[in-house]
Structure 1
Amino acid sequence: MPKRALFLLAGLILGMLLGGCGKRVHKQTLNADEYFEYAKKEFDKGDYLDAITEFNVIVLRFSGNPVVDDAQYYLAESHFKQGEYLIAISEYQKLLNDYPTSPYAVLAQFKIGMSYYKMSPRPELDQENAKRAVRMFQIFIEEHPDHELTSSAQKFIDELREKLARKKMIAATTYRKMGEFESAKIYYDIILEEYYDTPQAVFALYWKGECLYKLKNYAEAQNAFAAFVEKYPGHRYASRARRKMEKLAELLNSSKAPEHTQLDEQQAKD
């Protein structure tokens, strides 16, 4: 290798080493505000692993300084950005516990709900995180009804409740297709009672009527279909419900006919 190239390579390596040393020495001399500014730049660049390291340093080194709650919040945010939602929840909660009056406390409360929301899987899987997210967003709305994020919290609640209702609907449909109509009806009732304001409630009411029909509980089936037609007259299932009501009316009338005949015969004897 030519001597000139060797000198250039050696100079480059030396420059990198000195630059690295200078950077480390520089951080040692930073005060709390300067260190936070440095860490925040790492965060803003998307270097979340480096940001986590630096915000941790601030929290430990400058304990008691007013900048610490800022660092604690962005430490949680860095984990959130990394998709480390359980760790993020822990760090947001630490902010709420240690710095309840921090300007970031309200945001931390909202982001705990968001972390659970992010961890909630597709409807057919376990939905404990969805339930936790709903609870956190509900608490947020109750405690901060006028906050600008309240509408977002409500939107996430509606979305999560639909997911929870969908999980119940999957179970109900599975039982119905297996011919387990009583078990299916139980799940339809849960949807109608707990998730009455979701789109799944529309279908739950109709299919509850079908299950009651299969169980030969004709009077209750008639009531279910009548309620469906009254609430959703323009729904695509409404015509099916009306046809079922006609058939049920015939069945109910025919089942009463023998009773009337026996009564008439008894009265004639008397």
Structure 2
Amino acid sequence: MRLLLPILAVVFLFASCSEYQKALKSESVKEKYDMAEKLYNEGDYKRANRLFEQIAPQYAGKPQGERVMFFFADSYFQTGNYYLAGYQFERFVKSYPNSDKIQQASFLGAKSYYELSPRYSLDQTDTDKALSKLQAFINTYPDSEYFDEANKMARELTTKKERKQFEIAKQFDKLGEFDYPVLISAITALENFIAENPGSIYREDAFYYKLKSSTNLALNSTLSKKQERLENAVAAYNALKKSFPDTKYAKKADDLYAKVMREMQDFSK
């Protein structure tokens, strides 16, 4: 039996490959369909996809078309071809709006774009599309079994976009250490971030970096602008302490505030 089992496995594999190749070259749409569904159900999505790709146009408008198009889209998803999966799921949703699979197709289409979302430092076009798809799903199917997962993915992508916006503002702050006028751009970017992202996990950081940029700008300003900018730095400190009384930046913020107060006293003299 120990010798027989490997032999039988090899025979079965060759037979399976032979059947697949036969179906792939066959002129019979039904033969391709039967083999494609068999492979799909066995989890052999890559070979199933090749067959579905061949027969999908022939089933357009036919009763089995809905089933074929869903399997075709999902076989792309299961093999990690998320661009084509997203596209095919979009086609499915438009073609079969009353399908029993409409929720799953809408979710998997959105998830396809979620999988395409790159790291925060890169272009976020796919992230924007994924968020749009996920939000549409969440709004349309609040009772769906996929609702919680869709919400989790949407929050993750939102945080990624917030991080990109925050890191850009931080970069302005860093550049401003060598080129003080750039600090004006840093302050503006941080103010915009705070206003546009009230629930962000980076909100406390944004308040601190606004204080830091405001302080550095004030301390290195010309006499004509120093008083106003010192007052702006004090306002930035107060905003941080008001929004985050127990801020993790307490020591650094207090040190910056002390510098501003000393400068204000010297300036008034």
Question: Is the shorter-chain TM-score for this pair beyond 0.5, marking a shared fold?
Answer: yes
Q: Which moved more, 1:127-136 or 1:184-193?
A: 184-193
Q: 1:183 aligns with which of 177, 182, 185?
A: 185
**1:82-109: CA deviation from partner (whole Å, max 9, x where unpaired):** 2222211221111111111111222222
Larger radius of gyration between Structure 1 and Structure 2: 1
Q: How far 1:22 sits from its partner (Å)?
A: 11
Quote the residue 1:219 is aligned against: 231
Q: Write out aligned runs for 1:189-268 (5 A).
A: 189-216=191-218, 217-252=229-264, 255=267, 257=268
Quote the residue 1:174 is aligned against: 171
Quote the residue 1:91 is aligned against: 88
Q: How far 1:252 sits from its partner (Å)?
A: 4.0
Q: Which moved more, 1:77-86 or 1:120-129?
A: 77-86
Q: Partner of 2:144: helix, strand, or coil?
A: coil
Quote the residue 1:146 is aligned against: 143
Distance 2:107 2:41 in 1: 21
Q: Partner letter of residue 184 of structure 1? A: A
Distance 1:58 1:181 in 2: 60
Q: 1:61 to 1:185 in 2, by over 3 A?
A: same
Q: 1:182 to 1:45 in 2, by over 3 A?
A: farther
Aligned partners of 2:204 and 2:247 also within 8 Å: no
Aligned partners of 1:169 and 1:191 also within 8 Å: yes
Q: Partner letter of residue 195 of structure 1? A: N
Q: How far 1:42 sits from its partner (Å)?
A: 1.3
Q: How far 1:163 sits from its partner (Å)?
A: 0.9
Distance 1:107 1:228 in 2: 44
Distance 1:177 1:200 in 2: 17
- TM-score for both structures, normalised by structure 2: 0.77
Q: How far 1:39 sits from its partner (Å)?
A: 2.6
Distance 1:158 1:147 in 2: 17
Q: Kindly, what percent of the aligned residue pairs are identical? A: 27
**1:23-61: CA deviation from partner (whole Å, max 9, x where unpaired):** 6499949589xx46x433312433222211333355333
**1:4-32: CA deviation from partner (whole Å, max 9, x where unpaired):** xxxxxxxx9xx969x64996499949589
Q: Partner letter of residue 199 of structure 1? A: I
Please list every run of 5 or more consecutive structure 2 residues that lacks an aligned counterpart in the other structure: 1-10, 177-181, 219-228
Please list every run of 5 or more consecutive structure 1 residues that lacks an aligned counterpart in the other structure: 1-11, 259-270
Distance 2:79 2:243 in 1: 46
Q: How many residues align?
A: 240
Quote the residue 1:81 is aligned against: 78
Aligned partners of 1:232 and 1:238 also within 8 Å: no
CA-atom RMSD, angstroms? 3.0
Q: How far 1:110 sits from its partner (Å)?
A: 1.7
Quote the residue 1:6 is aligned against: none
Aligned partners of 2:59 and 2:68 also within 8 Å: no
Aligned partners of 1:226 and 1:241 also within 8 Å: no
- TM-score for both structures, normalised by structure 1: 0.77
Q: Which moved more, 1:236-245 or 1:68-77?
A: 236-245
Distance 2:192 2:151 in 1: 22
Quote the residue 1:66 is aligned against: 63
Aligned partners of 2:48 and 2:75 also within 8 Å: yes
Quote the residue 2:114 is aligned against: 117
Q: How far 1:149 sits from its partner (Å)?
A: 1.6
Q: Partner of 2:239: helix, strand, or coil?
A: helix
Quote the residue 2:125 is aligned against: 128
Q: 1:63 to 1:251 in 2, by over 3 A?
A: same
